[in-house]
Homo-oligomer: A and B are copies of this chain.
Amino acid sequence: MNTSDQATIFSSKEYLNKFLEIRRMTEEICEPLQPEDFVVQPVVDVSPPKWHLAHTTWFFETFILKDHMPGYKLFDDDYPFLFNSYYENEGERWVRADRGVLTRPWVKEIMQYRAYVNEHMEQFLNTNGLPEELRLAFEIGLNHEQQHQELMVYDIKHILGINPLAPVYRNFKGEVSEPNLEENYLAIPEGIYEVGYEGDEFHFDNEEGKHRVFLESYKVLDRLVTAGEYIEFIESGGYQDFSHWLMEGFEWVKKEGIKAPFYWYKKHGEWMYFTMSGLEKVNRNQPLTHINFYEADAFSKWKGKRLPTEFEWEVACKLHQPNIPQSANFLDKRNYRTMPRVGDDYQFYGDAWEWTNSAYLPYPGYTIADGALGEYNGKFMVNQMVLRGGSFATMRNHIRPTYRNFFHPHLRWHFTGLRLAETT
């Protein structure tokens, strides 16, 4: 997570506006909720929304205000213990798996905490500007909060989705365009390619280290796999035939009795799924979502294909769709659903995070920075798979060809999809 030396220096005013805009967005996501919805943790991977509200605030309090604003007084001495996530450098913390048992502080107290930190940040930026040595922490703080915005959407959907009342988050009306669902492939010739981030904008340390890779020639599908294609897999017995599956994947299928993507149910012979607008019929033309790595991998094998590696994905994206098309779903952040592919959009950006067949590992020359911010990415580099591209819930400045997202292969409550590939 670095900013290059040449990065544009914004004015204090600009920094402040960016800060306040992002802070406000976090709260906007929570608008449809009542206090009860902010508290629970149905599975360990889901955090209570009020925890996200507080944790993102703790980040600015801890890495900016606490040590750098003269006379700053912690809002509450117990909050660092409650709202540190995993930063060992920042001391003891409440156990992650027990986030869902804390009813206090109440939501309104956490909103007061947010206001308090916002006010102090405003005062700090107005007084000091943003000192050079805090710029990195500040920018990470903004990006960190945006990552949590996306996680909050996942978590809110999970909290609502497991409730038998199938509550509606917001009623979205999707424009249905004429979809373009042919099965075409983008071909990339063998050669040395450069991958990794290079430039002046904010980016994370895990994507830094531009370097060369040699790729044998390959091709990738020019769109995401659709729900309809996956229904064929299901209905041909895909979940019952071990030969498509990694062994750990098939064990997961059998142990959990899996028969469909997360949030999918068969009701009166019809595939239904839980959306942010409540229970709906599955739209076969939409990109498939809510599958884990095992399912993505099994589907690709059933099709006689495979998943691309993260570098195959990045190179194809840079070569064939270097710029974000205007139609990309994430541009309207309020429409919380994937949309069918229309026209020539290759769906590299902001539709669904795409599972790759790359494990999450460091780039050559990667080193972990000292101090708490060094704990941001590097310590997770084992047993996780890389996802690329972004989902409709991803903030726009988190969409870029080099961005590396990562999750354990069994998880599927986030907005995940896949694209097929083949060595040629």
Interfacial residues, chain A to chain B (CB-CB below 8 A)? 34-42, 50, 78, 81-82, 86, 88-89, 94, 98, 100-108, 159-160, 162-165, 167, 190, 192, 211-214, 216, 218, 242-243, 245-250, 293-294, 297, 301, 306, 357-359, 361-362, 364-365, 368, 374, 379-383, 385, 409, 423
Contact = CB atoms under 8 A, between A and B. Distances in A.
- Identify whether the interface residues of A are mostly helix, strand, loop, or mixed: mixed
Given A35-B35, A218-B364, A379 B102 contact: no
Contacts of A50: 36
A162 B104 CA distance: 11
A249 to B, nearest CB: 7
B357 A358 contact: no
A88 B385 CA distance: 26
A310 to B, nearest CB: 11
Nearest to A212: B214
25 contacts: A34-B35, A36-B103, A36-B104, A36-B106, A40-B102, A78-B164, A78-B165, A88-B242, A88-B243, A89-B243, A101-B163, A103-B159, A104-B167, A192-B192, A211-B216, A247-B379, A248-B382, A248-B383, A293-B382, A306-B362, A359-B359, A359-B361, A365-B423, A383-B383, A383-B409
A359 B98 CA distance: 32
Contact of A38 (B36, B100, B218, B246): B36
Closest 8 CB pairs of A and B: A359-B359, A35-B35, A42-B101, A214-B214, A88-B242, A365-B423, A36-B103, A37-B103
